[in-house]
Amino acid sequence: MFLNNLYTISEISSDSQSISAVIILDPVHEIFIGHFPGAPVTPGVVQLQIVKELLEQHLKKDLRMKTMRVCKFLQIINPEETPEIRIDIKFTEGEVIDVVASGSYEDIIYFKTQVSYI
Q: Note the pLDDT of residue 65.
A: 97
C-alpha distances in Å from residue 56, one per residue of 59, 86, 114: 5, 17, 16
Per-residue pLDDT at 1: 86
Range of the domain at 79: 7-117
pLDDT for the residue 68: 98
Residue 2 within any structural domain of the chain: no
Does residue 75 lie within any of the structural domains?
A: yes
C-alpha distances in angstroms, 92 versus 13, 22, 25, 114? Answer: 17, 21, 27, 12
88 within domain boundaries: yes
pLDDT at 53 over 90: yes
Instruction: Give residue 35's pLDDT.
Output: 87
Q: Say what the pLDDT of residue 57 is.
A: 97
pTM of the model: 0.95
> At 111, which CATH number?
3.10.129.10
Q: What is the number of domains present in the chain?
A: 1
